[in-house]
Structure 1
């Protein structure tokens, strides 16, 4: 799947919004693994540092949680959908 990103705006924010949207619409259900930094880099054709920034934001926003050696998974969310 090809995604056209607006290169005049911060790319990491656009990717973070896409992944957050996938979490919210159930594409990535609670408890399932989300794409790794390498997978995000390949899908969106961005540097790994950009994908790392996306993952850091998703973690800080409480959308995902990491398990050492296993990967990053969709976190349980409050029923109200959080503070977003």
Structure 2
């Protein structure tokens, strides 16, 4: 799935918005794994540091949680 990014706005914010959209539309349901840094870098053609910033932002927003050695998963927000 290819996404055209607007290079006049912060790319990491655009990618984060795409991932949020996928969470909201059920592409990534609660408790499922989201793409890794490497997968995001490859899909969007960005540096690993940009992909890390995306995942850090989503975690700070409470949309995803990380499990060391396992990956990053969609947070279950049904109890909030």
Same fold, judged at TM 0.5 (above): yes
Q: How many residues in Structure 1 have an aligned counterpart in Structure 2? A: 80
RMSD: 1.2
What TM-score do the two structures reach when normalised by structure 1? 0.91
What is the TM-score when the length of structure 2 is the normalising length? 0.95
Unmatched tracts of structure 2, length 5 or more: none
Residue correspondence of structure 1 range 63-74 to structure 2 within 5 A: 63-74=63-74
CA distance in 1, matches of 2:52, 2:71: 13
Matches within 5 A, 1:1-84: 1-78=1-78
Secondary structure of 1:20's partner? helix
**CA-to-partner distance for each residue in 1:4-53, whole Å, 9 max, x for gaps?**
00001000000000001100110000000000000000000000000000
